[in-house]
Structure 1
C-alpha cells in the first residue's frame, strides 16, 4: 500500500539533492540526480583510500559492497547470493548473455519489439556467428508485448526469451510477469532488462519468473554512474559460465585449478570501485526508505499529468504506448527534430533526452519513427518544473 509523498517530504528530498538547485531535470531515465548523502558516501571512501592507501582502505569498502548487495536483494525480493554488483546495466546484460555460451545453428531468440539496441547488438553478433535467428514477439492492440503471441511462437528451438521491461523510447510497461509465466511453463531462459524499472516500479524477481534481471544505478535509483545490478536465479547459475573470470570470480584451488564461485559474484571481478559501491548502497537505502510503492505512485501521477499537458499543446504529439505506463514520456514537436528540441530546451535550462532508431530499432522502425524527444520524471519533479518545460516548448512552437 502506497502513502502519497507529501509536498513537505518532496521539498525535503529536493533540499538534499544539489542538482535540483541548478537544473530543471527531465532526463531522469538517462541519469537521475544523486543525493548529498550518496555523494558523501562516495567521497568518504575516496578519502580513506587517499589517506590510508587504496588497498588498506579496502576492508571498509568491501563492507559497503556487501551492504549494497544485501539492499539490492531486499529491493528485488532475491537472495544476496543471487546479486552481482556490476559497472552498469549493459555490462550486466551482456555478461549474462555471453555466459550462455555458443548457441546452436537453427536456434531462436525471441525478443520484445521494444528491445534495447545494446542488447540487440550482442544478440546479433552471436546470431551471425552461430546461425541463430532473432524474432520479434508481436504486440497487443495497446502496443505492449503480447504474452499470447509469444506462446504461439514457442517450439523446441527457442533458446532465450528477452524483454526490455520499461523501454527507453516511451512510456509502455511491458507485462513482464505474464511473459515469465510462458517462459517458466516451457523451461526457456528468460532475461529481463530492468534498467528503467529498478528503483521506479516494484520488482519481485520471484513473481516475474525471470532467470536474469539487470538494473542500472544511475537511473531511477539515483545512484552513481558506473554501477549496476545483475540478478541471476540460484538454480540458473549452473547453466551459465562467465566469458571472463579472475581470482575473485574463479579463485584457484590447491591444485591451481579455477573454481567458479557458486553465487552470482562469479560475474564480478576483483577490480571494482568500492567508492561507487558505497554510493550505490546509500542510494538503495534511500529508495527502500521512501518505499518503491510510494515512488511508483508519485511518478505515475506526475507522468500522467505531464502527458495530458503535452498532448494539449498544438503541434505536440505524445508517442507513448501501452495501458500501464512509466515515467518516460515520448513526444515530438511538429516541424522540429527531437535533437533540436533537446538543444533548444537546454539553452533555457531544461534538460530532456532524445532517442534515435538505434535505441529501440524494432519499435522505432515499426512505427516509422526516426527520432523521439523524451521527458522523464522522478518523484522529485515539481509542478513548477513542469510549467518551465511546457513554457519552453511553447516558445519553440511560436
Structure 2
C-alpha cells in the first residue's frame, strides 16, 4: 500500500492527525472530484440531463457496491444513509404478534427505537442476548433462544461504535439460518474496513454507510438484500422508483432490491459513494484490514503503557476503533486537549439502550484508518503523555 500517495490524495491529512474514521473518515480526492464534478454538471445543464449523462456509471455502481460485500448487482439498493438502509430492511419484515426479535447488548439507539416501535405496533417482543466473557454476543445463549422458537429476526451490529470488538457474524448467521430466522446486519463500521462476503457470513440483509471507513460522502449508503428473501419483504413506503402502477387499482413492486430506493436522491452523492467503493477495492480490502488492525493494535499497546489510562476495547478480534479512559481526566477534557494539539478524536457517549451496566459511558474514541501513519499515532500518545 502506497501510503505516501494515499496521503497525497487525502487533503485532510495535511491539517491534523485524524482519528475519527468511525465517525466520518477523510474523503479521497477522486471521491471529491466525482461529487463536485457532477454538481458542476448539474449547474450547467440541470439535474435531470446531468443524471442522464451518467446513467452507465450509475448502473455500474451496483456491480461495484456488490463486489464490496460479495453480492449480485440486483441485490443492492442505494440509500441516503446506513440508518435509512437499515430502516428500509427492518420495517419491511412482515412481523406478526408474538414474533421475537433477538439482538445484542450494544445496539445503536436508532435501531433500538425501531425495535420498540415494532413492539408497540405489531406486538413483537425484543429480547437481548447476553455477552460472553469477551464482550461479544454469546453464541450458546443465542442458540438456546433460537431453539425456543418464534424468532422472526436476529439483528445485530458487526462492530459497535463504542469499543473495538468484532462480533462473530458468520456463526450468528449460521444459527439464524438453521432456525429459520432472518438475519439483519448493521455493517456501517465494517464495510470499507474488512473484507465482507454475505454468503460466508450467512447474512440476509446488510446496511452500510458511505461516510465512515468507506471514505465516501455523507448522506450516502446502501442496502444488501438476499435475492431469496426479497419476495417476503415489502417496503413501508413506495414511489415510482420502487414500484410501477399496473392499473387504476394496482401496482407491482420492482423484482430486485431497488424496490427499497427512492426516485429523488443525490446523484452526485451516489457517484461519490461508487468512487469510494472502487477506491477501496483497488487498494484491496485484505490490505486495508491488515493495516487498520495493525495500527489499532499499536495504538492500544502504547495507550495501555500510559499511567492512569485504561483501554476499554473488548472482543477476541478487534477493529480499528480504539477506546480509552483516564482515571482523573474526563473523556471530554482529553478530546478537547487533543484537538488543541492537532489530534482529532471523539467522545463516545454510548447512547445505547441495552448496555447500561457498562461503565464508564463516556470514552475517548480514536478510530484509525489506513491513511494514518505510525508517526501520527506516536505523536498522539506523546500528546496524551504530556497532558497527563
Q: What is the CA–CA distance in structure 2 between the aligned matches of 1:350 and 1:12, rounded to whole Å?
A: 21
Equivalent residue, structure 1, for 2:150 = 157
2:380 aligned with 1:389, yes or no? yes
Q: What is the CA–CA distance in structure 1 between the aligned matches of 2:300 and 2:323, rounded to whole Å?
A: 9
- Contact 2:162/2:350, CA 8 A, preserved across alignment: no
Equivalent residue, structure 2, for 1:195 = 188
**2:307 aligns with one of 308, 314, 333:** 314
**1:286 aligns with one of 279, 299, 311:** 279
Q: Label 1:263 to 1:44 Cα distance change in 2 as closer, same or farther (>3 A).
A: same
Structure 2 counterparts to residues 1-398 of structure 1, below 5 A: 5=1, 9-101=2-94, 103-154=95-146, 155-255=148-248, 257-358=250-351, 360-363=352-355, 365-397=356-388
TM-score by length of 1: 0.94
Q: Which runs of 5+ in 1 are unaligned?
A: none
Q: What is the CA–CA distance in structure 1 between the aligned matches of 2:127 and 2:81, rounded to whole Å?
A: 26
- Contact 1:183/1:190, CA 8 A, preserved across alignment: yes
Q: Which runs of 5+ in 2 are unaligned?
A: none
- Contact 2:164/2:314, CA 8 A, preserved across alignment: yes
Q: What is the CA–CA distance in structure 2 between the aligned matches of 1:225 and 1:63, rounded to whole Å?
A: 23
- Contact 1:193/1:214, CA 8 A, preserved across alignment: yes
Q: What is the CA–CA distance in structure 1 between the aligned matches of 2:214 and 2:377, rounded to whole Å?
A: 21
TM-score by length of 2: 0.97
| Of 239-248 and 150-159, the range deviating more from structure 2 | 150-159
**Partner-residue secondary structure (3-state), 1:375:** strand
Deviations 1:113-140, CA, capped at 9 Å, x for gaps: 2222211111112113333221111222
When the two chains are superposed, the root-mean-square deviation of aligned CA atoms in Å is: 1.3
Q: CA deviation at 1:390?
A: 1.1
**Partner-residue secondary structure (3-state), 2:200:** helix
Give the paired residue count: 387
Q: CA deviation at 1:255?
A: 4.8
Q: What is the CA–CA distance in structure 1 between the aligned matches of 2:120 and 2:339, rounded to whole Å?
A: 40
